[in-house]
Chain A
Amino acid sequence: MGILKEGVKDVGFVPALMIVIVLAIALQLTGVWVTMLAAGAFGGLFTRRHLRAFLAGFLGVGAAWSIIFLYLIATTPAIAIAGFFIGLLGLGENLGVIVVVIAIIIGALLGGFGGIMGRAVLELVESRGVKEAQAGRTEEARSQSQLKP
């Protein structure tokens, strides 16, 4: 809580985006897609508006997945696999690139929603912090008044 309350600053949109890209690539290497929410959420902590938080997560994870897909396409038959996959859905096997685009959009949405969630968590924590600070100040004032002769 202390870190969230005191250590998270608005670093600007582009740095937040970069943070999400790096984190999303690292987390995606674990092969657990839910962690894209965490990547987006982490990026959302460094912004101060919900829209920016969403965009940082959306574009960050989208970019991260795009980078990984480009690597896979360059080194493996990823497009053929995508074509195989879309073929299972009864669509043309030459439409594999559409599967990749859809995958990237899904990843981006995970990041985007994660960003909003991160921002909302931060705001919640901040509001609790403000409330606690106000409560602290009130208590301090009461103590001081009791000390007066």
Chain B
Amino acid sequence: MKRRLGKFVLALIGPIAMIVILSMPIGLLYGGLGGVIQPIGGVFDVGRGVSMPYGQSMKIPGLDSDVEVVFDRWGIPHIYAESVHDAFLVLGYLHARERLFQMVLQDYFAAGRLGEVVGREAVSSDKFYRTIGLARAARATYQWYLDNAEHNTDVAYALELVDAEVAGVNAFIDSMTSETTPVEFKLLGFTPEHWTPVDIFLWAKMMSWSLSGSIYDLYRQWVRQTIGNDTMYNELFPDLLPYTVPIIPEQTDLSLEEFPNAPGGFPATSVPPRKTGVVAAQTPTIDLTKLRLSIDVFEREAGAFGYGELLGSNNWVVDGVKSATGHPILANDPHLPLQAPSLWYEAHIVVPGVLDVMGVTFPGLPGVVLGHTAKTAWGFTNVGADVLDIFVEELNPSNPNQYMYNGAYRDFEIVDETIHVKGGGHIPYEVKWSVHGPCIDSVVNTYDLDQDIDPNLAMNWTGLGVTHELMSLAMLNKAGNLQEYFEAVYWWDSPPQNIVFADDAGNIAMTVAGRFPVRTGYTGEYPVTALNDSVGMTSSIPYAFNPRSVNPSQHYLQSANQRPTDPSTYRYDILGPFDDGYRGRRIDYLLSRKPSVTVDDMKSFQADALDVSAQELVPYVISAWNNAGDGNTTVQAAVNWLSGWDYVMETNSPAPTLWRYLLSAMQHETFDELRSISTGLLLSRTPVLEKLIKENVGHYFDDHTTSGTVETRDEILVRALHRALDNMASELGMDSSTWNYGNHHSIYIDHLARLTYIGGGPHRGDQYTLNAAGGWRVTYGPSWRMVADMGNVAQSYGVYPGGQSGNPFSSHWSDLFDLWYAYKKEIGQYGYHTMYFYVSSDRFRDADDARTMIAGSTTFTP
């Protein structure tokens, strides 16, 4: 008996060892190898759930009636429903079916719960997002909708869409099988929770943060304190950049009686306050190391999802006078992070008599963000305005949990933000909130500092309270004319966006939409100490007076993230920093000189890769070489490249590569005043350099590190040529035949979990071209291109770099990227797909004579 018992125990060793080995996390495989590698239930059967079951019916609980969805050849759903509830429930289901991993990852990321999915490596990110409090703001916003739905039909309508989207997402989660479970969840061993309305508001907050959350106050303060010379600081780092063509050519105010409040219904000040200079007493000195640490934390954590200089967008519109069709034509390409799966999911939603809208949606959000209806079209670009201020709270010396406000010390609200990590760990974490907002330095390790170890930098951001962007979108999706556009955009309070518009009545408009604070007692440029409520964001610009242009006499409107208004004519302060303005200058040039613009012209403009900064500055470099060159044959050969260059950042030439190196070298050689102070300083903005070169400002061209000689502009530019070529030789190799731009400038669209990527090929353009492609490894750019012709809106065009499916094994994983990336040089255009726009499924089928438009259809039943 004992022997057999011993044998039995020995026999258990193998199975137990197998269970242990196959269950233990290995790298990315948090769920262990066993659950992944088995044929059914592992990764291998995800290929079976890759396509919608065309020609079949699918039951979805919660539907009131049948919903027919026609999927076109790109996998884009055309949803034909009898009610908006049913339409958005199906949209939610499709969002989840194609993009659930993306939605969950984004949601947990924004909530500061990423550690629950991927483990301890996400703790620093989680601390950051817990600190800025997006989830708290999302809960407050959702509560506002609940509180106001009863009295306001627009709120009730938006909430109905939110609830329907949530129901659809949960219907998919409940129906998930091994075949339809995203492969990423299998690898991570993660089971998604049910979706809630707060998750929807949270993702809206996250997008808002990505587009308007910034800590320029700290950055300006750090630069200013580091330089220690206000004259130089104001010359080299102006808020008002030279040569900018403002977005608004002619201001159009609306009626203050009709719109007395600021966007979102916030209190407004109809009389602009007197412009405020910097009040030195209210600009506290912050320890430079603490400033730098805070900036570093923001750059590291917020940069992961969009915060950065590479964000941008283009939109423009021509009216019927300037278009070849006699009707407005509108174009939009938002430059957002390029990721796989894409930020966008395209859809067409039809509810007879209520809704007929097509364009791109954010997976998880109920509404078309950019697109067109049967009568209108619209597009967004980011404003880039500074709507976030840092308040330095004066702490109680005997109690760091109190701060001075309105003559008395009051307690910080201390919020428990304990972070949970995968596997069961808990990390205690607290965030202090003052009346101004959360103390962002809660997340900064200040143990190396002698002072200010207690958090006291409170963030006041217009996006952190209750905001109404989802309601605005819901209304915009239904807007049929200019007045309804005005009414919809009234609710767009965050993030500030330049919303271009066109309708079939021939109107064009641009609204610099969003809530812009009116600041009292400070400028908003630097951190400020506000000991009472007389200092702060005390009001906002009334919506009626938001920067806006309607049917301007120039017959076109454009925006590319540049300064929206001319400060000499617009009555309110809108604080930047705004874009360098080269894209704006380019599109303004193209539109102003083209008398009759066609849809093809619009596509060519979106593909335009001419760098205006090169066009403006290269002639000075060539002239400098001719005047002060030293005869070096290598430099002469490089100058020859520049002399024959058309300033287009094409992939098959070394000139664009040289230009990128040369621009950096020009900044390096010119701004010795800055780099001799700190190597961490940004060497000014390119338009400032352009101004110095064009106006030949000798002071900055003299190299102050040399004694006894005064360098001229031409000598500095020649030195820059040498430096650029030296850097190219050391970084790219001595063989200049390999210096073609396309060998070094390429596009990579990484999977969200870095499992794979799309692209990898050479890419045209740079940071300053309309076809935006900053950096050497391009990770930002036109995340959606659309051209809508209001003369025939059914023949509008769109494309985004990715595909409808989030499943890497689907034929719709990257098919739209292939279209987006395919540049046809002979016509100067990238590829687009026609945005099929049929009012019913029958009409769609009738139009598909050649059987090339429709891939299949599915009927969803209650």
Closest to B46 in A: A81
- Find chain A residues with CB under 8 A from B187 CB: 88
Closest to B183 in A: A81
- Find chain B residues with CB under 8 A from A88 CB: 27-28, 187, 755
Q: Which of the listed residues B7, B15, B45, B178 has the most CB atoms from chain A within 10 Å of its own CB?
A: B15
Contact B44 A82 (CB under 8 A): yes
Also in contact, A123 and B4, with CB within 8 A (given A81-B46, A84-B808): yes
Contact A127 B1 (CB under 8 A): yes
A37 within 8 A of B: yes
- Find chain A residues with CB under 8 A from B4 CB: 120, 123-124, 127
Among A11-19, A101-109, A139-147, the stretch in contact with B? A101-109
Contact B44 A116 (CB under 8 A): no
A32-47: CB near B (< 8 Å → 1, else 0) gives 1110110000000000
B818-841: CB near A (< 8 Å → 1, else 0) gives 000000000000000000000000
Contact B41 A117 (CB under 8 A): no
- Find chain A residues with CB under 8 A from B15 CB: 37, 110, 113-114, 117
Contact A107 B38 (CB under 8 A): yes
- Find chain A residues with CB under 8 A from B47 CB: 72, 76-78, 80-81
Considering the complex, which residues of chain A in the window 59-108 have a beta carbon less than 8 Å from any beta carbon of chain B? 65, 68-69, 72, 75-78, 80-82, 84-85, 87-89, 99, 102-103, 106-107
Contact B39 A65 (CB under 8 A): yes
Question: How far is B8's CA from A68's CA once the two chains are assembled, in angstroms?
Answer: 31
- Find chain A residues with CB under 8 A from B33 CB: 106
Contact B1 A131 (CB under 8 A): yes
| Smallest beta-carbon distance A22→chain B, Å | 15
B40 within 8 A of A: yes
Contact B183 A106 (CB under 8 A): no
| Smallest beta-carbon distance B26→chain A, Å | 9
B22 within 8 A of A: yes
Number of B residues near A (Cβ < 8 Å) is: 40
Question: How far is B808's CA from A34's CA once the two chains are assembled, in angstroms?
Answer: 28
Q: Which of the listed residues A69, A76, A119, A131 has the most CB atoms from chain B within 10 Å of its own CB?
A: A76
Contact B7 A120 (CB under 8 A): yes
Question: How far is B809's CA from A84's CA once the two chains are assembled, in angstroms?
Answer: 9
- Find chain B residues with CB under 8 A from A109 CB: 14, 18
Contact A33 B22 (CB under 8 A): yes
Question: How far is B178's CA from A113's CA once the two chains are assembled, in angstroms?
Answer: 26
Contact B18 A110 (CB under 8 A): yes
Question: How far is B12's CA from A103's CA once the two chains are assembled, in angstroms?
Answer: 22
Contact B44 A123 (CB under 8 A): no
Closest to B19 in A: A34
Contact B809 A37 (CB under 8 A): no
Number of A residues near B (Cβ < 8 Å) is: 45
A29 within 8 A of B: yes
Contact B39 A99 (CB under 8 A): no
Considering the complex, which residues of chain B in the window 488-528 have a beta carbon less than 8 Å from any beta carbon of chain A? none
Contact A34 B809 (CB under 8 A): no
Closest to B44 in A: A78
Question: How far is B593's CA from A69's CA once the two chains are assembled, in angstroms?
Answer: 63
| Smallest beta-carbon distance A21→chain B, Å | 14
| Smallest beta-carbon distance A38→chain B, Å | 10
- Find chain A residues with CB under 8 A from B615 CB: none
Closest to B32 in A: A33
Question: How far is B7's CA from A121's CA once the two chains are assembled, in angstroms?
Answer: 9
Closest to A67 in B: B39
Question: How far is B137's CA from A34's CA once the two chains are assembled, in angstroms?
Answer: 44
A9 within 8 A of B: no
Main secondary structure of the interface of A (DSSP, over half): helix
B685 within 8 A of A: no
- Find chain A residues with CB under 8 A from B11 CB: 113, 116-117, 119-121
| Smallest beta-carbon distance B283→chain A, Å | 51
Question: How far is B756's CA from A8's CA once the two chains are assembled, in angstroms?
Answer: 51
Cross-chain contact of A103 among B7, B8, B19, B37 (Cβ < 8 A): B37
| Smallest beta-carbon distance A36→chain B, Å | 8
| Smallest beta-carbon distance A98→chain B, Å | 12
Contact A69 B39 (CB under 8 A): yes
Task: Work out how many contacts link A and B, with CB atoms closer than 8 A.
Answer: 121
Also in contact, A72 and B809, with CB within 8 A (given A120-B11, A123-B7): no
Question: How far is B835's CA from A10's CA once the two chains are assembled, in angstroms?
Answer: 68
B43 within 8 A of A: yes
| Smallest beta-carbon distance A122→chain B, Å | 10
Question: How far is B224's CA from A28's CA once the two chains are assembled, in angstroms?
Answer: 66
Question: How far is B46's CA from A32's CA once the two chains are assembled, in angstroms?
Answer: 16
Question: How far is B809's CA from A124's CA once the two chains are assembled, in angstroms?
Answer: 49
| Smallest beta-carbon distance B797→chain A, Å | 31
- Find chain A residues with CB under 8 A from B22 CB: 33, 106
| Smallest beta-carbon distance B180→chain A, Å | 12
Also in contact, A103 and B38, with CB within 8 A (given A81-B183, A117-B15): yes
A137 within 8 A of B: no
Also in contact, A120 and B8, with CB within 8 A (given A80-B809, A85-B43): yes
- Find chain B residues with CB under 8 A from A121 CB: 8, 11
Contact B809 A29 (CB under 8 A): no
- Find chain A residues with CB under 8 A from B178 CB: 31
B699 within 8 A of A: no
- Find chain A residues with CB under 8 A from B40 CB: 28-31, 68
B35 within 8 A of A: yes
Question: How far is B5's CA from A74's CA once the two chains are assembled, in angstroms?
Answer: 46
Question: How far is B39's CA from A78's CA once the two chains are assembled, in angstroms?
Answer: 9
| Smallest beta-carbon distance A4→chain B, Å | 13
| Smallest beta-carbon distance B760→chain A, Å | 13
Question: How far is B37's CA from A109's CA once the two chains are assembled, in angstroms?
Answer: 13
Considering the complex, which residues of chain B in the window 49-106 have a beta carbon less than 8 Å from any beta carbon of chain A? 50
Also in contact, A84 and B755, with CB within 8 A (given A69-B39, A99-B37): yes
B544 within 8 A of A: no
Contact A87 B756 (CB under 8 A): yes
Question: How far is B46's CA from A120's CA once the two chains are assembled, in angstroms?
Answer: 37
Closest to A109 in B: B18
Question: How far is B27's CA from A113's CA once the two chains are assembled, in angstroms?
Answer: 26
Cross-chain contact of A34 among B28, B34, B42 (Cβ < 8 A): B34
Contact A68 B809 (CB under 8 A): no
| Smallest beta-carbon distance B33→chain A, Å | 8
B36 within 8 A of A: yes
Also in contact, A76 and B45, with CB within 8 A (given A103-B38, A107-B38, A123-B8): yes
Q: Which of the listed residues B12, B44, B45, B48 has the most CB atoms from chain A within 10 Å of its own CB?
A: B44
Contact A128 B1 (CB under 8 A): yes
- Find chain B residues with CB under 8 A from A116 CB: 11, 14
Closest to A106 in B: B37
Contact A124 B43 (CB under 8 A): no
- Find chain B residues with CB under 8 A from A80 CB: 47, 809
Closest to B12 in A: A117
Contact A72 B45 (CB under 8 A): yes
Further 14 A-B residue pairs, CB within 8 A, beyond A88-B27, A113-B14: A28-B41, A34-B34, A65-B39, A68-B40, A72-B39, A76-B45, A81-B47, A89-B27, A106-B34, A106-B37, A117-B14, A120-B10, A124-B4, A131-B1
Give 16 A-B contacts (CB < 8 Å), ordered by A residue. A31-B38, A34-B19, A65-B38, A65-B39, A76-B809, A78-B44, A80-B47, A80-B809, A84-B756, A88-B28, A99-B37, A103-B37, A124-B8, A127-B1, A127-B4, A131-B1
**Which residues of A pack against B, CB within 8 Å?**
28-34, 36-37, 65, 68-69, 72, 75-78, 80-82, 84-85, 87-89, 99, 102-103, 106-107, 109-110, 112-114, 116-117, 119-121, 123-124, 127-128, 131
